[in-house]
Amino acid sequence: MRFLVRFIITLIALYAAVWLVNGIEVTETSAWLAYTVMAVVLSLVNMFIKPILKFLSCGLIVATLGLFLLVINTVVLWLASWICQQLGIGFVVTGLWPAFLGSLIISAVSLVLSIFVPDED
């Protein structure tokens, strides 16, 4: 159940990023399919690749007092978009700044919506 709620939060955050940022687009006729696949890909990239990136750049994260995590989030969103394009899904991030702004919006929306989800503890 918790996974489904987190998945829905990710879908809403992706929709907000597409709506607010010029340069993040859904070019698919079936937009909900594109959002769903992008949410799955983004979750998988966050689960498997993001920890590796954080481990490899832990020195930079400490030196910048955590600000380098913004760069990692940007790379993760850009990578997830690239994977979706390779799969033929029309979720496109066109550049570095749209990826940066999109990652900020996705993080902020996810944080705000996660406040309303009770913990299982």
* Alpha carbon distance 18, 11 (integer Å): 11
pLDDT tens digits, one per residue of 14-61: 999 999 999 999 987 788 889 999 999 999 999 999 999 999 999 999
* The model's pTM: 0.90
Q: Residue 80: which pLDDT band, with cuts at 50, 70 and 90?
A: very high
- Residue 121: its pLDDT value, please? 63
Residue with tokens 């990652």: 103
Dihedrals φ, ψ of 38, to 5°? -65, -40
pLDDT top residue among 118 and 76 = 76
